[in-house]
């Protein structure tokens, strides 16, 4: 064993990731334990807990199997030189969707439109327009409201004058102030009454970059939506960190 014998946790991690990587269905605890016949169950449990906390493994609520986590996927993409800015954002959007069990997306303002850059849809949840497509709905679309709130005042004023009806402009500007303050938008009745959008701003350093969030179907209490909003804000921080990684020289 030599020096390798002094690092059993590291060697077990490498072996486990090698076994899990090609298995889309993941592995159960007993299967994983069988990889390490010399380790007691408590040791394997501690290893799995540590890898879950570091997002090297993932385990969906209600499922028994462990899978490759988003951080391990991203490391693989970076090592293979396949990770661009959009790829990095995909992991943040996917994590948000999987953690909340609601379809998630990332939007940016482009040529005075709301452009969907990345999406990750959950089965039997909301279906977004295709990535790369745009819309002009700034008045009632939750992602677009966050995009508008993230703009400098002179740009926001142009958006308001171009897209917001005259009688709604004062209330719209007040809503922009609230989004800027709270760093999140809970749009309880978006452009349709049967879903709510929750979106948060994403920054690249000090500069506004875009909006990440989820679309929640059906009726939910304000408390439930506020809990989801906290997860969306965490996803915004994750997306900002990934953009910073991409921008790092």
In degrees to the nearest 10, what's the CA dihedral of 234, 235, 241, 242? 160
Contacts 24+ apart (CB under 8 A), 130-136: 134/110, 136/112, 136/163
On whether both 122 and 189 belong to a single domain, the answer is yes
On whether both 198 and 232 belong to a single domain, the answer is yes
Q: What SS3 class is residue 196?
A: strand
pLDDT of res. 245: 64
In angstroms, the Cα distances linking 110 to 16, 117, 134 are 43, 10, 9
Q: Report residues of the chain scoring pLDDT below 70.
A: 1-7, 74, 77-84, 245-249
- Residues whose CB falls within 8 Å of the CB of residue 93, separated by 6 or more in sequence, listed in order: 104, 105, 106, 118, 119, 120, 212, 235, 239
Q: Which of 43, 74, 105 is the last residue of a domain?
A: 74
User: Whole domain around residue 188: which residue ranges?
Assistant: 84-247
Does 24 reside within a domain?
A: yes
pTM above 0.75, yes or no: no
- Residues 117-160: tens digit of each pLDDT: 999 999 889 999 999 999 999 999 999 999 999 999 999 999 99
The CATH number linked to 159 is 3.30.450.40
On whether both 34 and 119 belong to a single domain, the answer is no
On whether both 238 and 118 belong to a single domain, the answer is yes
Does 79 reside within a domain?
A: no
Q: How many domains does the chain have?
A: 2
Average model confidence (pLDDT) across the chain: 88
On whether both 184 and 122 belong to a single domain, the answer is yes
Distance of CA 196 to the CA centre of its chain: 17
User: What number of other Cβ atoms are within 10 A of residue 215's Cβ?
Assistant: 25
On whether both 193 and 156 belong to a single domain, the answer is yes
Q: What SS3 class is residue 150?
A: coil
Q: Which of 215, 243, 193 is nearest to 144 (CA)?
A: 215
On whether both 188 and 120 belong to a single domain, the answer is yes
pLDDT of res. 5: 45
pLDDT of res. 3: 40
- Residues 174-185: tens digit of each pLDDT: 999 999 999 999
On whether both 6 and 26 belong to a single domain, the answer is yes
On whether both 114 and 208 belong to a single domain, the answer is yes
On whether both 62 and 162 belong to a single domain, the answer is no
On whether both 44 and 161 belong to a single domain, the answer is no
């Amino acid at each position: 064993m030599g020096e390798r014998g002094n690092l059993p946790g590291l060697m077990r991690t490498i072996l486990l990731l090698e076994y899990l990587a090609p298995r889309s269905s993941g592995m159960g605890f007993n299967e994983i334990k069988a990889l390490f016949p010399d380790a007691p169950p408590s040791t394997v449990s501690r290893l799995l807990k540590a890898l879950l906390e570091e997002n090297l493994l993932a385990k969906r609520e209600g499922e028994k199997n462990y899978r490759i986590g988003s951080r391990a996927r991203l490391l693989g993409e970076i090592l293979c030189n396949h990770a661009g800015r959009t790829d990095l954002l995909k992991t943040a959007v996917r994590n948000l969707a999987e953690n909340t069990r609601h379809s998630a997306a990332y939007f940016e303002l482009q040529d005075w439109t709301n452009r969907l850059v990345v999406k990750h849809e959950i089965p039997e949840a909301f279906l977004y327009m295709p990535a790369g497509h745009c819309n002009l709905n700034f008045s009632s679309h939750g992602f677009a409201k966050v995009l508008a709130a993230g703009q400098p005042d002179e740009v926001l004023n142009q958006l308001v004058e171009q897209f917001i009806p005259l009688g709604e402009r004062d209330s719209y500007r007040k809503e922009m102030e609230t989004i800027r303050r709270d760093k999140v938008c809970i749009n309880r009745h978006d452009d349709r009454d049967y879903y709510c959008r929750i979106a948060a701003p994403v920054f690249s350093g000090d500069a506004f970059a875009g909006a990440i969030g989820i679309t929640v179907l059906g009726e939910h209490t304000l408390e439930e939506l506020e809990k989801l909003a906290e997860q969306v804000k965490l996803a915004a921080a994750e997306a900002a960190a990934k953009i910073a990684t991409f921008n790092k020289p």
